[in-house]
């Protein structure tokens, strides 16, 4: 999926130096490689915001993101220096899955040494088309005294980081010097960025008088929508610019066209032809010119849908004596993970980002207790454990529970148990106006004893909000297990991955095991007529600021054209 990264900062430390005013910050966005032998990828830099220690940049960056592939983004802030090297103002690293799973898909971190806070927001990139927009002002109220005229520019804002007064800037025009009748340039603006594809969503248009100090003066503002802009152009209406209840000028709309292709829809209306424009605080609405695509995984996550994880572990005798260092269940005394633990840790660390309470049931199968083979039993002392470390502890504690590793390898009971839990969790969530989806991770060292029966079992429970991921541990012949992936019914909810094919890659296992889950989640909810909940709205003050971490030593070079490139390692 394609996602966009947007950035803002607050309470930055001024590094401009004595008697040089306030810093002019911009941010450079860099993707850090998982492989130490690979180089970072510089996505680019934001615009510079003059004289500000609380910059809200409008430029965003689009990348491909895969659930299961850890993606670390370095956001490094600089003070622009025209003569000399740009000065570092600090940096933070964000993992995109963690940002996406955070409330409102926003995360903030403290810059080391009390140098401020960086906010990172993730949104899914959707092609709703563009708004071709050209605005002009007429008879704006001058704020620069008798002998000068204001230098107006405008910003478009939407409620993004919060609600109420927390408007986030999504576009900022250039300013026009000494002009109370400004005619700004025509722009093509992404409907995804300015209104999330909702043409009736409220947006704010604010006009400022540009000041070199960065303390721009408010000239007035209006609230409307994309439909309101289009209708204003269509009906020849203008907007009365307001400040403290007083009219401070007029905003004219000479172009406002919804563009689904490269071609413009209508001709531009010359500003001179709009001298008798009608004023109105709002304009008649027109029908949406865009048909939204269907809901996506990100839509459900942004609406608060949580992903619950259950783990089922194979304790059959074919794993070997766990006291033997050559066997699969051997617990290493030096803290090294065996392959079962590696699989738990890698998959669990991805999915826990989408579960607020991080409580997981851990099951075992294939062992005898009191002479009876049990195909689904609790691992550890409690029904649910805390976090991924809790899963690993429950797994280790099972070897001291008096079990005898036995057989055969049967999945059906743990599948049925997980399906029942998944259905119950979703019903409980639904009663509270929430949503939840579950993933069962089965770890096994061999092929299931009855593949056909297991396939029938999966077919019987495939209407539940559940995905099943089976990871084969060790060197057994797992060829028959692919049958479960390929032939488990009309609805595909099961996936098999061989651990040894992925064990030497940092992200190959999680990519292979989790890549189908977003699609499976969306298909489940759509089959049952369940749309995503509205995006969770979070006030800026509600965003917990993660503590400062050690900064990553990545040096960025700036060419004569100001374009940032990776310049090797250095101290930050």
Question: Do 130-279 and 2-126+538-566 have the same topology in CATH?
Answer: yes
- CATH says 130-279 is which class? mainly beta
| pLDDT for 539 beyond 80 | no
Alpha-helix runs per DSSP H in 399-450: 412-431
Contact status, residue 157 vs residue 167, Cβ threshold 8 Å: yes
C-alpha 485/C-alpha 463 separation (Å) is 16
Instruction: Please state the domain extents for the chain.
Output: 2-126+538-566, 130-279, 306-527
Burial class (CB in 10 A: 0-12, 13-18, 19+), 504: exposed
C-alpha 466/C-alpha 486 separation (Å) is 17
Percentage with pLDDT > 70 across the chain: 91
Query: Which 8-state DSSP code applies to residue 61?
Result: E
pTM for this one? Answer: 0.78
Q: What is the model's pLDDT at position 261?
A: 42
Assigned token pair, 1:
């999926």
Rounded to 5 degrees, what angle do the CA atoms 280, 281, 285 make? 85
Most confident of 232-246, 254-268, 273-287, 470-484: 232-246
User: Domain 306-527 falls in which CATH fold?
Assistant: Rossmann fold (3.40.50)
Q: How many helices (H) and strands (E) does the chain have?
A: 11, 31
Query: Which 8-state DSSP code applies to residue 492?
Result: -
C-alpha 108/C-alpha 539 separation (Å) is 12
| pLDDT for 279 beyond 50 | yes
* Residue found by looking up tokens 């000065």 in the block: 87
pLDDT, averaged across the chain: 88
Q: What is the pLDDT of residues 79-113, one digit of tens each?
A: 999 877 899 999 999 999 999 988 888 999 999 99
Task: For residue 175, name the pLDDT band (cuts at 50, 70, 90).
Answer: very high
Domain 2-126+538-566 CATH (choose: 3.40.1360.10, 2.60.40.150, 2.40.37.10, 1.10.490.10): 2.60.40.150
Q: Buried (b) or exposed (e) across 451-486, using 16+ Cβ within 10 A? A: beebbebbbebbebbbbbbbbbbbebebeebbbbbe
Q: What is the model's pLDDT at position 287?
A: 37
Task: For residue 263, name the pLDDT band (cuts at 50, 70, 90).
Answer: very low
């Amino acid at each position: 999926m394609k996602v966009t990264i947007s950035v803002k900062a607050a309470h930055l430390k001024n590094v401009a130096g004595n008697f040089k005013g306030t810093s002019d910050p911009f941010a450079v966005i860099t993707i850090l490689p998982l492989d130490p032998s690979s180089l970072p990828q510089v996505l680019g830099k934001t615009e510079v915001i003059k004289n500000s220690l609380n910059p809200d940049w409008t430029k965003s960056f689009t990348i491909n993101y895969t659930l299961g592939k850890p993606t670390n983004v370095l956001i490094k802030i600089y003070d622009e220096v025209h003569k000399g090297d740009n000065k570092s103002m600090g940096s933070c690293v964000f993992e995109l899955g963690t940002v996406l799973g955070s409330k409102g898909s926003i995360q903030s971190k403290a810059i080391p040494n009390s140098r401020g806070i960086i906010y990172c927001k993730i949104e899914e990139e959707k092609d709703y088309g563009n708004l071709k927009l050209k605005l002009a002002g007429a008879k704006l109220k001058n704020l620069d005294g008798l002998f000068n005229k204001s230098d107006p520019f405008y910003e478009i804002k939407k409620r993004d980081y919060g609600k109420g007064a927390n408007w986030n800037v999504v576009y900022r025009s250039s300013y026009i010097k000494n002009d109370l009748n400004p005619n700004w340039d025509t722009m093509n603006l992404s409907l995804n960025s300015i209104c999330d594809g909702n043409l009736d969503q409220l947006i704010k248009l604010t006009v400022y008088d540009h000041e070199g100090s960065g303390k721009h003066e408010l000239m007035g503002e209006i609230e409307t929508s994309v439909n309101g802009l289009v209708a204003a152009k269509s009906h020849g209406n203008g907007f009365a610019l307001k400040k403290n209840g007083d009219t401070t000028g007029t905003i004219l709309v000479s172009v406002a066209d919804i563009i689904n292709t490269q071609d413009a829809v209508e001709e531009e209306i010359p500003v001179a032809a709009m001298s008798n424009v009608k004023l109105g605080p709002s304009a008649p609405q027109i029908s949406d010119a865009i048909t939204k695509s269907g809901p996506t995984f990100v839509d459900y996550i942004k609406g608060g849908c949580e992903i619950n994880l259950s783990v089922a572990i194979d304790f059959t005798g074919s794993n070997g004596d766990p006291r033997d260092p050559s066997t699969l269940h051997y617990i290493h005394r030096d803290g090294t993970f065996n392959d079962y633990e590696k699989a738990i840790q890698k998959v669990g660390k991805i999915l826990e980002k989408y579960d607020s309470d991080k409580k997981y049931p851990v099951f075992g199968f294939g062992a005898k207790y009191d002479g009876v083979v049990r195909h689904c039993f609790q691992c550890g002392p409690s029904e649910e454990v805390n976090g991924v470390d809790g899963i690993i502890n429950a797994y280790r504690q099972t070897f001291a529970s008096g079990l005898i590793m036995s057989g055969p390898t049967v999945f059906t009971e743990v599948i049925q148990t997980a399906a029942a839990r998944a259905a119950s969790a979703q019903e409980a969530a639904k009663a509270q106006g929430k949503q939840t989806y579950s993933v069962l991770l089965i770890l096994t060292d061999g092929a299931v004893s009855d593949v056909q029966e297991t396939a029938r079992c999966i077919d019987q429970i495939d209407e539940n909000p559940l995905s099943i991921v089976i990871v084969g541990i060790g060197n057994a012949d797992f060829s028959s297990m692919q049958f479960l992936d390929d032939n488990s019914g009309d609805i595909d909810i099961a996936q098999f991955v061989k651990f040894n094919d992925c064990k030497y890659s940092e992200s190959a296992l999680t990519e292979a095991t989790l890549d189908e889950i977003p699609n499976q989640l969306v298909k489940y909810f759509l089959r049952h007529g369940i749309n995503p909940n509205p995006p969770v709205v979070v006030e800026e003050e509600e965003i917990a600021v993660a503590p400062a971490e050690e900064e990553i030593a990545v040096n960025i070079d700036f060419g004569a054209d100001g374009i940032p490139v990776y310049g090797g390692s250095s101290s930050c």
